[in-house]
Chain A
Amino acid sequence: MQEYILLMVGAALVNNVILARFLGLCSFMGVTTRIDTAIGMGLATTFVITVSSMGNWGVEQYLLEPYHLGYLRTVTFILIIAGAVQFTEMTVRKVSPPLFQMLGIYLPLITTNCAVLGVALILVEGKMTFIAATLFAFASSLGYSLVMVIFAGLRERLALAEVPRLFAGPPIGFIVASLLALAFLGFSGISTT
């Protein structure tokens, strides 16, 4: 149990997908203008990362590794991720058309989110069991969502602040992001091994 908790803390905070591994930066800058939308995007990404990682683990374990097809890994994972996004889109549309109208906006953006592929490739390196891989993917995406929400909150405050004209807009956003990354660097002192 303790092993799983440490794995999750490490994935979410110490090796944060955005601020430590620098993955998913396009959505980090693009969908963090409001907290509501950041939460929506974060939850959608969490769902897709977790579900696609389950599929990726199965394919890696039962197909790519036994038949020495490692050179097809990236292509296969991209296919599985696109399939997971399509599955999510179809399911949400089928289960509830109003929910799809409201949330369908985020789904196409996730297919091209490098954080999803990044987590899948990290899982392969880790040689984890199925439950550990799923929890790792879930925690990584929770870390992603956490940073998205924190940054959205900061940007909402920045919108009200008096920023010198030279720094207004994306430049001050990047400066704040770098300060946030420095703050998260503090977690690297936690030993999760």
Chain B
Amino acid sequence: MPQNTPASEHPIDPFSAELVEGLARVVAVEGNRVWLEPEQTTSCGGCAASGLCGAKGIGTAANRLEMRRFQLVNEAQLVVGERVVIGVDGRALLKASGTAYALPLVIMLIAGAVAQHIAQSDGVTMAAMVTGLALGLLATRGIARWLSTRGQLAPRFLRRADAEESCKIS
């Protein structure tokens, strides 16, 4: 099992925040916690089947999903195999995207622009941009830790999924 940070245990009112919903399947129960695996989100509608097809080689969809398993407190007495709807605060999704992608990119471009202005050389600019990217990723690490300790990145259990509820990008 991957070492993931446990989700926040603070309950959330699903009607008070703009939540982005997704489907997940219960894959293990450990005491009062459950391990959930997000369903493969494609437009083909084959999400429910991907958890059952048994194809679990390196690089396959099932293998990727295993890496994204996460824990939740089992308040709803979930059992293995159940499909549930989970939610993430929409603003948290924006903060996470900004932290993971925009910040390293901006630092990298600034480093490149400064290097180009000073050195006027493709090699130096390239080296500066790679360094900027590394620095940006370090900054991302710090901010992500801070957001995580505040419980802002944790998905929440919303409800059990209906049988006809299909996957959606969320």
Contact B153 A102 (CB under 8 A): yes
Cβ distance A99 to chain B, nearest Cβ, rounded Å: 5
Known: A92-B100, A108-B64. A102 touches B93 (CB 8 A): yes
Of the candidate stretches A13-21, A30-38, A72-80, A157-165, the one touching chain B is A30-38
Residue A134 interfacial (CB < 8 Å): yes
User: Cβ of B159: which chain A residues have Cβ within 8 Å of it?
Assistant: none
The complex places the Cα of A103 from the Cα of B64 at a distance, in Å, of 13
Residue B141 interfacial (CB < 8 Å): yes
Contact A134 B2 (CB under 8 A): no
The complex places the Cα of A98 from the Cα of B113 at a distance, in Å, of 32
User: Cβ of B61: which chain A residues have Cβ within 8 Å of it?
Assistant: 108
User: Cβ of B99: which chain A residues have Cβ within 8 Å of it?
Assistant: 96, 99
Residue B28 interfacial (CB < 8 Å): no
User: Would you list which residues of chain B between 125 and 161 have a CB under 8 Å from chain A?
Assistant: 125-126, 129, 133, 137, 140-141, 144-145, 147-148, 153-155
User: Cβ of B140: which chain A residues have Cβ within 8 Å of it?
Assistant: 95-96, 99
Contact B126 A130 (CB under 8 A): yes
Cβ distance A12 to chain B, nearest Cβ, rounded Å: 14
Closest chain B residue, CB of each to CB of A32? B169
Cβ distance A174 to chain B, nearest Cβ, rounded Å: 15
User: Cβ of A37: which chain B residues have Cβ within 8 Å of it?
Assistant: 20, 93, 169-170
The complex places the Cα of A26 from the Cα of B43 at a distance, in Å, of 9
The complex places the Cα of A102 from the Cα of B155 at a distance, in Å, of 8
Number of A-B residue pairs with CB-CB distance less than 8 Å in the complex they form: 129
Residue A47 interfacial (CB < 8 Å): yes
Query: Which of B38, B97, B155 has the most C-beta atoms of chain A within 10 angstroms of its own C-beta?
Result: B97
Known: A46-B105, A105-B38. A39 touches B97 (CB 8 A): yes
Residue B4 interfacial (CB < 8 Å): yes
The size class of the interface chain B forms with chain A is: 35 or more
The complex places the Cα of A93 from the Cα of B126 at a distance, in Å, of 25
Contact B112 A103 (CB under 8 A): no
User: Cβ of A91: which chain B residues have Cβ within 8 Å of it?
Assistant: 137
With beta carbons under 8 angstroms apart, the residue of A34, A40, A96 that contacts B148 is A96
| Residue interface bits A123-153, CB-to-B below 8 A is 1, else 0 | 0000001110011001000000000000000
User: Cβ of B88: which chain A residues have Cβ within 8 Å of it?
Assistant: 102
Contact A103 B96 (CB under 8 A): yes
User: Would you list which residues of chain B between 75 and 129 have a CB under 8 Å from chain A?
Assistant: 88, 90, 92-94, 96-102, 104-105, 108-109, 112-113, 116, 122, 125-126, 129
With beta carbons under 8 angstroms apart, the residue of A103, A105, A108 that contacts B100 is A103
Task: Knowing that A108-B61, A134-B129 touch, tell me 7 more A-B residue pairs with CB under 8 angstroms.
Answer: A40-B97, A54-B126, A95-B140, A99-B100, A101-B155, A105-B38, A105-B41
Residue numbers of B with Cβ under 8 A of A are 2-5, 18, 20, 22, 38, 41, 43, 61, 64, 67-68, 70, 88, 90, 92-94, 96-102, 104-105, 108-109, 112-113, 116, 122, 125-126, 129, 133, 137, 140-141, 144-145, 147-148, 153-155, 168-170
Could you name 9 residue pairs across A and B whose Cβ atoms are closer than 8 Å?
A30-B43, A37-B169, A47-B100, A51-B133, A98-B144, A99-B96, A103-B101, A129-B122, A134-B109
